[in-house]
Structure 1
């Protein structure tokens, strides 16, 4: 798997689950999560299908930020006005929250979440493309946003772009960017998606695997009926071409508890995530050390000397109030750090 380290490591079950090489990553247009009960149902579907990372399109949430839904953490990016439209999000299993290193809510149509992996960084870019009734200018604006957010990533990263692209890539193609298991006929926005894949060396993974058509289509038209079947493949999971072999399967699932005209699209990806390293905390100041008369005298003497120096220099230099406060703070803290911090204990070998 990508970034798999050698050697045998003993770890608890939760940590082992966190680092296992095969994780399931999904994307789903849920047709609004304005009703918060729908977010809970999405979390339940994640648990049921063992999905660790879920991209969500068309949330219709306002603003951007982070929240908790059951045992999941959700990062979301929506409109900054009061209009409940568009919106994207990424919901992750709580066990992965310590792997998240960055979150960029760029727009109501594009967001990035970066997770720490053994290979470097796993970039998840969740998108929601304009529907076919929207002007081409809006489509180009979305692709411009994706290009801008890709600048944050590195070539060696595992980068995934996924979501409702509202494009038909079509069947029969078989090259570096598109497999032969697409559906239907390509349209103009499918051409634009193909151009994007070429420009960024990305492959459309849900065209690579042979499945029954019911596992390939991602959207059902409201006009669909047994006598007139209208189903299309318009949601996609893209990955950098260099990592295409890391994706071992992609297919759709019907969402039992989430009413939507889209199906849940899930990829199985070989990538090992890891926790972020904890930042090194400086030694704490121990006030109880002032009980030692000798240490207490040294601290007070050093503070008084520092404050006297500040008083002497204040007559000759004009200093703003903020700088005065910083100087006083430093004058007091430096002696405390010098005399009231316990020395770091050496780890036993």
Structure 2
């Protein structure tokens, strides 16, 4: 990839990548890298593309119909569409049928492309030779005579109406050959670039591009309009990295009065602009920002290889130099990673974050399945699938106005104090992504006391007027893959990137209502509560299992799983639950305004997808877990479970919950079925939907083997279940859990292995 930074290019096509699995990612410099997989049960094949940073946002679709063909569709502007078809043709020793099938597939692929400009490039393993009198699409210039493979290529050009780019330009022999034999004696022109339009301005090899391959890079230039691309490139120039000078920011903040305006929205925009100006005016050069992975000695070797001319006498030297370069580059990359991870370990910073920061690329979504289960590879199609999925997920089916609890606002709002704001800001973690305001917690923290005073006044006003800035109702959402099929949108968790001042406000608000909410929670709920942890519920489960086994009592444990629980709760049930549990009306009203008329933006590629939010709590909002717990508590209260459960010291324990992870405890499957049915019926009223496929039943050997059903679905029985990070079984056998933990420990160790294996 470093070689690509030395040349000018828009798209580079790759042949013979030989990857086992496909890869779609964005490189650290912004370039898009798309690699297809090789042929199954073979080490040959594999096509790929490297797209320049300025063109990544122009990508419409990347697909790989086979291990020999890849298609890149670009939308350069409103009218200009380009399809780049990268190919790797069969070699001369293949059967005639293989060659015929290959060209038929290329012809079919080109016909499916709806772009005005179609470019076919790659290793054709063919020598075309100069044009013949009856040919209209072959040029007069060539390095050598046409061979049998060249006949096939020429026939394809004539029948499919593709102009042969190489032969249209006269070049010296040393600027025409693209392949050199292993002994360095024979040189051929095997790589070709075709186009269905006469838009070539030049086709020539790039001798300075050296990667150790026996092929040289062949570059074609076209007379597309490059003015807009040049302007985009100028706009995307990155300034040198800097960091915030916290001391200077606090001194500058003291000079601002942060005057409050009458309009909440105008006042908020002015406040954000003031913080932004302070942040931008107090930058200093980032120390040790050089991230070169290659040492100077290795660079000298690469430069030597670049300047070495391929001749018969230098063939052996070139072969040895290629091997040394590969080994040295790999060694330098390993040493760089080890050094950075060791520095993180010694400074007690996050190794995971450090590994992420030095990663050379980040993966992007290669393809998705739409609502009908069809695979979509075009970016427009994937964006449409995301929009459809989340519009359906966040749509509320409520058609009538929900009932309102008649409560009154009591007294005036106790003003927020700067110390409350400071405490909320100090609790916010560093290194998180910004929202629409482009501010992070470090920016607010750096402004210090003057900003805390200004925020305290505004937070008090928001609560008194039950109104927040409209900018807080817009968020950015990123999709994080959890596990399972990456093509299924259900396996992604949407995380909201909210304005940092909104998160400071909800943290301050949560500090005031936390005690009220926790007092309403029973001991069965251990999620997001102080002095509670997963260990409490794990110990309870194992103790109950042991007691039932010791006294030969039947035990049925039903592990509940919800479909998108946090994204499904109806908003009106959240406010009703808060009021039922004693939260003051003024705080409920301001939270209600925070969630009214909200929208979020997904940006999986480059174009924003705006989706209205009619239900669900924002994952990424500090107060969201407590809001969800309040709704779930309201649901459980409506379930008539008093006669169900396991008797523990005279008290019936019928369930345990950690946020939305619920386990039902009963003696019979009939009781479990009635509890599941009640939970499902009450949950549907607030928007919660049980996932029957992932809800599991585990029972000991004394329990009735009857099935537990939900509607017409039989819940699956299991012998073991991972509950809150612990593998639980009915014999309390720790061996499977020990094996699982060892496997997880080795997986975690492998992520820091370069730092652990220091020399």
- What TM-score do you get using the length of structure 2 for normalisation? 0.31
Tell me the SS of whatever aligns to 1:148. helix
**Counterpart in 2 of 1:52?**
10
Change (3 A) 1:264 1:331: closer
Encode CA deviations 1:91-119: one digit per residue, 9 max, x unaligned: 11122111111111111100101010233
Measured after TM superposition, the shift of residue 330 of structure 1 is 11
**Counterpart in 1 of 2:157?**
197
Encode CA deviations 1:185-238: one digit per residue, 9 max, x unaligned: 11111111111111211011111111111111111122443xxxx211110000
Measured after TM superposition, the shift of residue 333 of structure 1 is 8.8
Contact 1:130 1:139 in 2 (8 A): yes
Work out the CA distance in 1 between the residues paired with 2:218 and 2:27: 21
Work out the CA distance in 2 between the residues paired with 1:80 and 1:223: 28
- Of 281, 300, 313, the residue aligned with 2:402 is 300
Matched, 1:76 2:46: no
Work out the CA distance in 1 between the residues paired with 2:597 and 2:142: 65
Q: Which has the higher strand share?
A: 1
**Counterpart in 1 of 2:206?**
253
Work out the CA distance in 2 between the residues paired with 1:133 and 1:281: 49
Kindly report which structure 2 residues correspond to 1:275-294, keeping only aligned pairs within 5 A, or say none. none
Contact 2:14 2:86 in 1 (8 A): yes
**Counterpart in 2 of 1:85?**
44
Encode CA deviations 1:166-200: one digit per residue, 9 max, x unaligned: 01101354742111111211111111111111121
Tell me the SS of whatever aligns to 1:105. strand
Measured after TM superposition, the shift of residue 80 of structure 1 is 5.6
Work out the CA distance in 2 between the residues paired with 1:98 and 1:193: 33
**Counterpart in 2 of 1:234?**
190
Contact 1:77 1:106 in 2 (8 A): no
Kindly report which structure 2 residues correspond to 1:3-152, keeping only aligned pairs within 5 A, or say none. 43-71=1-29, 72-79=31-38, 81=40, 83-118=42-77, 119-152=79-112
**Counterpart in 1 of 2:597?**
341
Work out the CA distance in 2 between the residues paired with 1:157 and 1:50: 24
- Of 182, 186, 205, the residue aligned with 1:222 is 182
Larger radius of gyration, structure 1 or 2?
Answer: 2
Contact 1:88 1:111 in 2 (8 A): yes
Change (3 A) 1:149 1:61: same
**Counterpart in 1 of 2:118?**
159
Q: Which has the higher helix share?
A: 2
Structure 1 regions of 5+ residues with no counterpart?
Answer: 1-42, 286-297, 303-324, 344-349
Measured after TM superposition, the shift of residue 128 of structure 1 is 0.4
Backbone CA RMSD of aligned residues: 3.6
Work out the CA distance in 1 between the residues paired with 2:187 and 2:89: 18
Work out the CA distance in 2 between the residues paired with 1:104 and 1:333: 41
Change (3 A) 1:62 1:334: farther
Encode CA deviations 1:39-77: one digit per residue, 9 max, x unaligned: xxxx22322111121001111112324124442211122
Matched, 1:185 2:145: yes
Tell me the SS of whatever aligns to 2:103. helix
Change (3 A) 1:143 1:342: same
Encode CA deviations 1:107-151: one digit per residue, 9 max, x unaligned: 110010101023331100000011112222222222122122123
What is the aligned length? 255
Work out the CA distance in 2 between the residues paired with 1:334 and 1:77: 48
Change (3 A) 1:330 1:259: closer
Work out the CA distance in 2 between the residues paired with 1:256 and 1:97: 22
Contact 2:17 2:38 in 1 (8 A): no
Change (3 A) 1:192 1:80: closer
Change (3 A) 1:300 1:103: same
Tell me the SS of whatever aligns to 2:211. coil
**Counterpart in 2 of 1:38?**
none
- What TM-score do you get using the length of structure 1 for normalisation? 0.64
Work out the CA distance in 2 between the residues paired with 1:204 and 1:77: 26
Contact 2:209 2:216 in 1 (8 A): no
**Counterpart in 1 of 2:127?**
168
Contact 1:63 1:80 in 2 (8 A): no
Work out the CA distance in 1 between the residues paired with 2:120 and 2:153: 11
Contact 2:130 2:138 in 1 (8 A): no
Measured after TM superposition, the shift of residue 281 of structure 1 is 7.5
Encode CA deviations 1:24-48: one digit per residue, 9 max, x unaligned: xxxxxxxxxxxxxxxxxxx223221
Structure 2 regions of 5+ residues with no counterpart?
Answer: 233-378, 392-399, 405-562, 575-594, 600-759
Change (3 A) 1:261 1:214: same
Tell me the SS of whatever aligns to 1:162. strand
Work out the CA distance in 2 between the residues paired with 1:271 and 1:128: 26
Contact 1:218 1:231 in 2 (8 A): yes
